[in-house]
Amino acid sequence: MPKAFNSISQRWEHVRSYQDQGGAWVEVMRGDQDNAAQLTSAFDHVAGTYIGKGTVLQRDVSSMPVHPDSVKMSKFMWDWSPFAPVGAWGGRTSLNTSSFGTQPIHMHVVDSTHPDCNFQNLDAVIAGNAYPVEEKMYMKGKFPFPSWATGARNGDYGCSIYDLGTGIMREIFMFGRKTDAQGQEIPGQWGGGGGYSLNTPGLKNLAQDNYALQQRRGLSNVAGMHNSLGFIGIAEALNRKIEHALCFTFGAAWTLPRTYPELLAERKAILDAGGSMPAGWPSVHQYGSHVSWPARGADGKAEHYIPESTHVLRSGQSKTFTAAEPHITPTHGQWGRLPDSVDPWFNPRTGSPYYPMTRLIIEAAKKYGVVGTDTNLFCNAFNAEQGRTWEHMYGEDPWKAGGIIDRHLRDPGDATNGGGIRVDDFPWDLVEWAPIDWGRPSPDWNIRPGERNPWWSSSDPRRPAGTSAY
C-alpha cells in the first residue's frame, strides 16, 4: 500500500482512495505518489488539518451587527448580474471548480524541507506595490513546486503555493511558464504577479500570525487575501460539511465611495474646465469607504456597467438604475450571513429542498458567513479546491462530470447542467450583511493601498489626539 509523509501530522500515512462502484466502496491504490505534493487536504477537518483553523474564516457570526441597507444589498445580489436575466451558463450562481466554470485559484500545499521536494524557478513581480528587495527575496528564484502542478488553466490563471517548510504563502495571478525569444515555453520557469505573507513554518499558528488572512505585500485577487482557504474543500464535499466562511466571487458590485451621479458631475467639471480624464477613470477611485476589512482592495466594476443602460432582472422585468441606487451593494471583504430561519430542506420558491451542494453552503453561511473576495463579471460564484492533486494521485479530477463528488452531490433531477454542480438557488435575497469594516482591529497597522496612516476606530479611546479615523 502506498504511503505519503504528512508534514502537518509529521508521520507517514497510508494513502487510500475510495470510489463508489455499483453501490460498494472499493479501495483504489496507486504507486506513483509524489511525497512533496499536497500530502493531506488543507480542508480535512476530521484529521484536524484545516490550515485556516481559528482565523477570520471561522469567527462567530451570531452576534454580527447588520448594515442599515442590508435588505437593499441582498435584493441587488439576487436581482442583478452582468449576464441578465439568469447569469452566466444559465445559472444565477455557479460553482467554479477545476473541471467547470472560470477555474478558481489552484492551491498547492508543499513542504520545502521534504527530501524529495521538487523546486522550479519563479520570476514574478509584487503587484501594486514597489518593494524590490522583498520581491527578490520572495517572488524570484527557486520555489517549491511539484513537477506536475499548475495554476488554473483559464480565467486569471491563479495559483497559490503554501509552503509548510518556510511558512511563506505565495499568491500569483497570470501564473504561467516563461517563454524564450521564439515564444517557446521554458521548462521549470514560471512568471506572473501577486503577493505573499510570512508565517510560522508549518502554518500551525496562522490564527496568530495572520488572523485576517491578508497578503503582506501585493495583490493577487481583488481582496488581497489568502481566499483559497475559503473555498469548498474536496474532503468537505465528500464529508458533506463545510466548517468555515465561504469566499465567493461577485458577478459585480459597487466599490466606489461615491454614487454614479457624483462621478458624472466630477467628469463634467473636469471636461468643462478643459481638463482630461485620468487614466482608468473611474477605477482610480476604487479604494475608499467601500472596501471592508479584511479585504485590502475592491474592484467590483458595477460602476462601469450598471448605470449605463436598462437591465433585465431575474424576475423578467426591466429596470433602469438611477441616482444612488447602484451603490447599494455589498463590497469586497464585507461579511454576510444567513439567518437561522433559512431551512436548507425547504426552498420557498420551489417548495422543494435546495440543491445538495447549496444545502452545504447554506449551513456554512449560517454558522460562519460568506465574504466576497473577487470579481468575474459573469455571475456570483462559489469556488472549490482544485482537483489537480487528487487527479495526480488517484487518476481523475473529483469535480468532473460523473466524478466522485458529482455522483454524491448532483441533484437527482439535474441531468446535465453542462457538467457543473448546481448552486444557482442559493438565497442571496435572504443574506444579512454586516456594516463596513465589521471586526477591523484598532489600530490596524496593515494599511490598505491608498491609505497613508494606520487606521483607528473613531470610538477607540486610545486613538491619538489629532489623528483621523478613516
In which band, very low, low, confident or very high, does the pLDDT at 323 lie, cut at 50, 70 and 90?
Answer: very low
Write out the three cell numbers for 422: 448546481
Of 425, 51, 26, nearest to 235 by C-alpha is 51
Does pLDDT of 413 surpass 70?
A: no
| pLDDT at res. 83 | 54
pLDDT for 339 beyond 90:
yes
- What confidence score (pLDDT) does residue 34 get? 44
Q: Pick the residue with more confidence: 204 or 267?
A: 204
Average pLDDT, the chain: 79
> Pick the residue with more confidence: 467 or 14?
467
State mean pLDDT over 136-156.
Answer: 88
Least confident of 287-301, 324-338, 339-353: 287-301
Kindly report the number of other CB atoms within 10 A of residue 453's CB atom.
11
Q: State the Cα–Cα distance between residues 368 and 389, nearest whole angstrom.
A: 27
pLDDT tens track for 234-275:
989 988 999 999 999 988 887 766 555 666 677 778 888 888
Closest by Cα among 127, 148, 129, 138 to 32: 148
User: What confidence score (pLDDT) does residue 242 get?
Assistant: 94
* Least confident residue range of 135-144, 174-183, 446-455: 446-455
**What is the arithmetic mean of pLDDT over 355-361?**
94
Prior bond of 282 cis (ω within 30°): yes
The separation between CA 85 and the C-alpha centre of its own chain, rounded to angstroms, equals 24
Set of cell numbers at residue 383: 469556488
According to the model, what pLDDT value does residue 257 have? 60
Letter for the amino acid at 465? Answer: A
Per-residue pLDDT at 57: 97
In whole angstroms, how large is the CA radius of gyration of the chain? 22
Pairing of strands 370-375, 246-250: parallel
At 410 the pLDDT is: 72
Cα–Cα distances in angstroms (integers) from residue 190 to residues 3, 37, 140, 362, 427, in the given order: 30, 18, 10, 38, 40
In this structure, are residues 249 and 383 in contact, taking their beta carbons and an 8 Å threshold? yes
Mean pLDDT, rounded, for 184-189: 86
Helices and strands: H and E segment counts in the chain: 9, 18
Range ranked top by mean pLDDT from 313-322, 328-337, 391-400, 445-454? 328-337
In this structure, the strands spanning 3-6 and 106-110 are unpaired
**Tens digit of pLDDT for each residue in 62-113?**
999 999 989 989 988 887 765 554 444 556 788 999 888 778 899 998 888 8
> Residue 458 in contact with residue 469, Cβ under 8 Å?
yes
Q: How many CA atoms lie within 13 A of 356 on its CB side?
A: 17
Q: Are 281 and 46 in contact (CB under 8 A)?
A: no
pLDDT of residue 358: 94
Report the range out of 41-45, 111-115, 325-329 with the highest average pLDDT. Answer: 111-115
